[in-house]
């Protein structure tokens, strides 16, 4: 005698409900693998060590090699007394908005002019205000122990 239809249906339904539940359990991610940090997300991490930004006064530093073509160059000098930058107060401009220097040979100690991409009108030296906050892209550098190792490799 064959099974009544309702019995077959209840078996199928039970499988449909329980299978995904097993599947989810197998894929559960442990707390210490949720982020890049190899600790549980419930641990309270130690406060990171304060970074000491290096760099001497502008004019006394070597330019830092770019990590890749078209990367925003890093700031080799101190920016201690130049921040915060606001829309209307920006010391970076005094030394770096120098359109006449674009393409000129620079001797050591001379400020590097912001490139043409940074102006609305290069001839007038009119800065494109979408770029007023220079340190959004250009950063001073510090020697620190990385919290998370970077796997970035320079392109050959
Ligand atoms: C008093 C002038 C002066 C001021 C103010 C100044 N800089 Fe500079 N900057 C320089 C000089 C000179 C260099 C060349 C490196 C050196 O000798 O320190 C330089 C280099 C740089 C470089 C490296 C460019 C490259 O192609 O390698 C960046 C980026 C930069 N500065 C950004 C900034 C930012 C952002 C500010 C504002 C927070 C700023 N600078 C303020 C003079 C200045
Ligand atoms: C949105 C990101 C961004 C902002 C904001 C920005 N820059 Fe740049 N900057 C770049 C990139 C990317 C480059 C390199 C590519 C290029 O030439 O455009 C660069 C290049 C430079 C260079 C090096 C030029 C050279 O010949 O090597 C200087 C100096 C510079 N920027 C200064 C500034 C200053 C000063 C400000 C603020 C007024 C500023 N930048 C704002 C992204 C930015």
How far, in Å, is the centroid of ligand 1 from the Cα of 145?
25
For the CA of 111, the nearest ligand: 1
Tell me what pLDDT residue 38 has: 74
The range of the structural domain enclosing residue 119 comes to 51-142
- The answer to whether residue 134 is domain-embedded is yes
Q: For every one of its 156 residues, what pLDDT tens digit does the chain have, with 9 covering 90 and above? A: 456 665 665 555 555 555 555 555 667 888 888 877 777 878 887 887 888 888 999 999 999 999 888 999 999 999 999 999 999 999 999 999 999 999 999 999 999 999 999 999 999 999 999 999 999 999 999 988 887 788 888 777
- The answer to whether residue 70 is domain-embedded is yes
- Extended strands (E) in the chain: 119-121, 126-127
For the CA of 119, the nearest ligand: 2
- The answer to whether residue 57 is domain-embedded is yes
Number of domains comprising the chain: 1
Ligand 2: which of 73, 82, 100, 122 to mutate, judged by most atoms within 8 Å of the beta carbon?
A: 73
125 pocket-lining for ligand 1 (C-beta < 6 Å): no
- The answer to whether residue 137 is domain-embedded is yes
- The answer to whether residue 7 is domain-embedded is no
- The answer to whether residue 138 is domain-embedded is yes
| Of residues 81, 71, 85, 116, the one with CA closest to residue 98 | 116
- The answer to whether residue 5 is domain-embedded is no
- The answer to whether residue 32 is domain-embedded is no
The pTM score is 0.81
The answer to whether 77 and 119 have CB atoms below 8 angstroms apart is no
Q: Is 99 helix (H, G, I), strand (E, B) or coil?
A: helix
133 pocket-lining for ligand 1 (C-beta < 6 Å): no
Greatest CA separation for the chain: 99
How many angstroms separate the CA atoms of 90 and 83, rounded?
8
Tell me the two tokens of residue 103. 């393409």
């Amino acid at each position: 005698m064959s099974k009544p239809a309702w019995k077959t249906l209840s078996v199928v339904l039970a499988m449909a409900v329980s299978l995904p539940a097993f599947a989810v359990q197998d894929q559960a991610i442990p707390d210490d693998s949720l982020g890049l940090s190899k600790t549980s997300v419930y641990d309270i991490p130690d406060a990171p060590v304060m970074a000491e930004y290096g760099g001497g006064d502008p004019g006394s530093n070597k330019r830092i090699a770019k990590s890749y073509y078209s990367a925003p160059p890093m700031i080799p000098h101190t920016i201690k007394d130049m921040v915060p930058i606001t829309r209307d107060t920006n010391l970076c401009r005094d030394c770096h908005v120098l359109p006449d220097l674009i393409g000129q040979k620079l001797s050591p100690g001379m400020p590097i002019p912001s490139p043409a991409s940074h102006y609305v009108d290069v001839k007038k030296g009119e800065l494109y205000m979408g770029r007023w906050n220079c340190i959004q892209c250009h950063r001073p550098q510090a020697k620190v122990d990385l919290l998370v190792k970077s796997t970035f490799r320079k392109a050959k």
